Every structure is written in structure tokens, then in C-alpha cells.
Amino acid sequence: MNNYQKQLKQISEIKGRPKLLIHICCGVCSVYPLQYLRQFFDITVFFSNSNIYPYEEFERRLDALQKYLAHLDDDSIRLIVDRYDNENYTKQISVLKEEPEGGKRCYLCYRMRMEETFRYAQKHHYDYCTTVMSISNRKNADWLNEIGEQLEKEYPGVIYLHADFKKGDGITKNDLLNRELGLYHQDYCGCIYSIRKENDE
């Protein structure tokens, strides 16, 4: 697996600022990654999360992200909100509804959202794309990077930015910043099956 810190160092030495499309799943996961990455990139935030159930929860997470972007007060960061289609999403993952949380169903969910990000990035000529999901202790960074490598081959012209934002005290910094800002913090991953998992515990 590539060392993403090394990759970012190489990027920082490029003249100009590459265009990065970054998939963001919620406000709380965006805090440290955006602060860190805006040093190197012109960033567009891509909120593509049809997995989130119900729609009111989707709105709460989007609102938290918007509050954080307002706090950053950085006009160079754009926000794109992708179409919400939980019915189609749930239909696709329902074949894996009995999988444990963190298993094959989650892998499919990662891939679906990351592929939407790559598709948009290629269509709109972004140089790089990535996701903030690796900041979460509940997300498998190796899987995310594996998927990113696969999609880079399927969507020529878009470079995948490897990441494990938990590293380098990223998770600690993220938690501290979130406490300071008081952003909404969800208590389940997103899909209807993850709600059931939390309720069962």
C-alpha cells in the first residue's frame, strides 16, 4: 500500500494546486481531513450518501457538514450534494443484509459511494479523488484504499489519493476539533441495517 504522507509531500511540490474531489460521509468525519488537505489542493466536497437512512438523518449530517464549511470560511472549497436515492441503494445491498457490521455489506457500500465519486471526478476533470471515511475507527482503511486503486484503473484520468486519516494523530485531532465545534455526531454508520445492529447491542 502506498504511503499517503509521502504522496502528499510529492503533491505539495507540484506547481499550482491540483483539483481534488473528496467524498465526505458526514460533518464529524470532515473536520481534520479538510483542514489538512486544503494546504495542497483546490477542494470540492462531494456529499454522496444514499446509504443514510432515514432522509431526516441525511439532512442532519449534511447540515453538520455545511456548518463546518461555514466555520472554515474558505470560499475556495465547493460543496456538491449528490442525488439521494436510498430506495435503490437499499435494494442493492439487501442481498447482504445478514452480514455483520464491518463485513461484506460495508465493503459494497464503500465501493458504491466511492464509485459515484470517481464517476463525477472523471466527468468534471478532477485530478484526484479520495474519501474521508478512513478517519473513522469503524472503517477499514485497507479496504478503502484497495477500492480506490481498483477504481483508478476503471476511471482513467483520475488519480486516487491514498489515505488513512487516523494516522499521525489524525483521529485525536479530529475528535478535539469536533468537541470544540460541537458538531452533530451520529450514533450509527448510516444504512437501515446498521441502525438495527446498534439497536441489538
Model confidence pLDDT, tens digit, residues 173-195:
888 988 889 999 999 999 999 99
> Which pLDDT score is estimated for 171?
85
Does the model's pTM come out above 0.85? yes
What's the CATH number for 4-200? Answer: 3.40.50.620
Q: Is the peptide bond before 156 cis (omega within 30 degrees of 0)?
A: no
Instruction: Kindly list the domain boundaries of the chain, sorted by start residue.
Output: 4-200
In the predicted structure, residue 109 carries a pLDDT above the cut 50: yes
Q: Using pLDDT thresholds of 50, 70 and 90, give the confidence band for residue 127.
A: very high
- What would the pLDDT profile of 11-42 be if each residue is shown by its tens digit? 788 788 999 999 999 999 999 999 999 999 99
In the predicted structure, residue 58 carries a pLDDT above the cut 90: yes
